[in-house]
Amino acid sequence: MSTSRNEVTSQSQLIRLKVTSEDAELRLDQLLTARIADHTRSQLQRLIKEGRAYVGSKQGRASSVVRKGEMVTLEIPPPCPSPLEPEAVPLNIVYNDADVVVVEKPAGMVGHPATAHRQGTLVNALLHHITDLSGIGGTLRPGIVHRLDRGTSGLLIVAKHDQAHAELARQFKDREVEKTYIALVWGIVQAGRRIDLPIGRDPVQRKKISTRSRRAREAITRVVKAEHLRGVSLLRVMIATGRTHQIRVHLSAIGHPVVADPNYGGKRRHPPPHLRIVQRLERPFLHAAKLVFTHPRDGRRVTVQSELPPDLLTFVEELRAQHHKSKAKR
């Protein structure tokens, strides 16, 4: 099949396909899905439904069967402007190219605008900082591929167009993305520990996740490094799965909740005197520190890392100083 593209106007685009013997007898939506790599099948079906696809001079339907020698024409409209407003919210971009951007989400920032959060979200910030979006789902907006809890800081991958979004989402689904977090937890946890506990929506407290869920799904967390600091442990953990609140629920389930986590036992009203400094923490001590993924365009492995933000690093430095001081007295 030969493919040609030319501009209809300064914005929309025509794609012309000539049906060969190999393509004959396919449905129109199957043909377009096979030949147009930068659009998903559902998006192409929507364009067909909007009357933007023709077989010869006749408007096509998704179920239309194409014949050898026919010309298929598809109009690709320009992405619609996003209904969301760009905002000059400070945002640290750690990786950026034509397909993907990786940012450091600050703690307290939500991902998408919602009824309670229409401004100051990650999407609002991205619309201001990124000027070469190709659009997601026909709209000029960034495609956030995964999520972080509002109180968690760290790395997030964002796609600039549908093809990148679909490939990165597949990598997350197939567990091909390496995700490493830094967490400060109560008690002593040894490196090498593996937590394999299915989790899901708590049957009583529906806003929480727990290991008691009737519809629990597989969740695996591994402790790859541990630093012990007099009653707390600074951990590096990797997750094979990416369930909601997974790290927080898993560490709480084994009796070592994330420090300052109000929902899963991490808030201590009466900590030991040397640990009272953690009462100043205003969010769970959890940071997405490293991501390794395959680039959706050229297949190379990309590694991005993020240091602890100042609000967490300050506590670590104070705890280390206290720990070393206590060791020197022995």
Mean pLDDT of 247-262: 97
Any idea which of 62-76, 113-127, 179-193, 260-274 has the lowest mean pLDDT?
A: 113-127
Q: Specify the CATH class of 3-76 in words.
A: alpha beta
Cα 1 to chain centroid, rounded: 36
Average pLDDT, stretch 71-87?
A: 84
CATH superfamily name and code, 79-174: Pseudouridine synthase (3.30.2350.10)
Out of 23, 29, 99, 149, pick the active-site residue.
Answer: 149
* Tokens at 32, concatenated: 């377009």
C-alpha triplet 255, 257, 260: angle, nearest 5°: 150
179-214 pLDDT, tens digit per residue, is 999 999 999 999 999 999 999 989 888 889 999 988
In the chain, where does the domain assigned CATH 3.30.2350.10 lie?
A: 79-174, 175-330
Average pLDDT over residues 203-226: 92
Q: DSSP labels for 270-293?
A: S--GGGGGGGG--S-SEEEEEEEE
| Known active-site residue 311 | no
Judged against a pLDDT cut of 90, whether residue 3 lies above it is answered with no
Residues of each domain in the chain carrying CATH 3.10.290.10: 3-76
Q: Which fold has domain 175-330?
A: Pseudouridine synthase (3.30.2350)
